[in-house]
């Protein structure tokens, strides 16, 4: 028997082996999610992520968003450099 309508979901994190063959809209398919961001050159990047890496991405996004807010408020970059001030 052949059943059509399945999609292959695979986490885009290079070291992750999570994948699923599932019908769109099912619990297995909805466990994978997409996150879209702009890279440092303004290009849009979309990642398909397993549940574990989607949670990690969301934590990272909140940290980076908070740093951008601090930059917008004070004009200082406080990440990426030991000691905090990378302005």
Strands 19-22 and 33-38: what pairing?
Answer: unpaired
The single-letter DSSP state of residue 31 is T
What pLDDT sits at residue 43?
Answer: 97
**Model confidence at 46, in pLDDT bands (50, 70, 90)?**
very high
Residue owning tokens 């992750």: 16
- Entry field: residues in the chain: 87
- Give the span between the Cα atoms of 22 and 71, in whole angstroms: 42
Q: From CA 9, how far away is CA 21, in angstroms rounded?
A: 6
pLDDT band for position 77 (cuts 50, 70, 90): confident
Q: What is the mean pLDDT of the chain?
A: 90
Of the candidates 34, 33, 7, the residue with the CA atom closest to the CA atom of residue 20: 7
Assigned token pair, 79: 């990440």
The pLDDT of residue 86 is above 90? no
Mean pLDDT, rounded, for 65-87:
77
């Amino acid at each position: 028997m052949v059943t059509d309508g399945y999609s292959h979901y695979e986490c885009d994190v290079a070291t992750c082996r999570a994948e699923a063959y599932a019908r769109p809209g099912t619990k297995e398919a909805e466990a994978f999610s997409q996150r879209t961001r702009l890279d440092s050159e303004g290009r849009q990047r979309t990642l398909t992520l397993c549940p574990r890496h989607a949670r990690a991405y969301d934590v990272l996004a909140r940290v980076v968003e908070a740093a951008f807010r601090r930059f917008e408020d004070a004009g200082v970059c406080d990440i990426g450099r030991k000691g905090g001030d990378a302005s």
